[in-house]
Amino acid sequence: MKNFCFFAWVFAGMASLGTAVEITGEKNASSWGDEVSSLENLIAANEKHLLAQKQLKEKMKLFQKQKDEFMLGNQSKSHAYAMVSNAREILTTIREEHLSYLFPTDYLEELIFFSSIAAKSVPLKP
C-alpha cells in the first residue's frame, strides 16, 4: 500500500507538472512573436546607435583635421564656418546619444565654445 501511495503521489505530481508545462508552453508559443519583435526592435535600435557612433567618429576626425589646418594658417571664413558647424554637429550627436561621459571635460568645453560661434554665425530666418 505504501508503494501505491508513493506512485500515486509521483503520478499526480507528474500530471500536474505536465499540465504546468503544457500551460507554460502555450503561453510561450503565443508570446513568441512579441519576444522576436522586441529583439528585432532592440537590434534596429543598436544598429541606429552604431551608425550614429561611426558618423560621430568621422566628424571627430574631420574636426581634428580642421583645427590642425586652422592652426597652420587656413583661417578663411568658409573653413572656420565648416569647423564650427562640425563642432556643433559633434556636440549635438554626443548629447543625443548620451555619450558625454566618454569624453574629457576639456574636449566638451571646446565643442561648446565652437558651437556657440556656429550658433552666432547662422543667419537668422525671417
pLDDT for res 86 = 96
Please report whether residue 16 resides in a domain: yes
Q: How far apart are CA 47 and CA 4, in angstroms?
A: 60
Whole-model pTM? Answer: 0.67
Cα–Cα distances in angstroms (integers) from residue 104 to residues 12, 25, 59, 99, 111, in the given order: 65, 51, 17, 11, 11
Q: How far apart are CA 67 and CA 58, in angstroms?
A: 14
pLDDT for res 27 = 52
Residue pLDDT, tens place only, 29-59:
556 678 999 999 999 999 999 999 999 999 9
Please report whether residue 43 resides in a domain: yes
Residue that the C-alpha cell 556636440 belongs to: 91
Residue 30's domain spans which residues?
2-121
Q: Supply 72's cell numbers.
A: 597652420
Please report whether residue 126 resides in a domain: no
Structural domain tally of the chain? 1
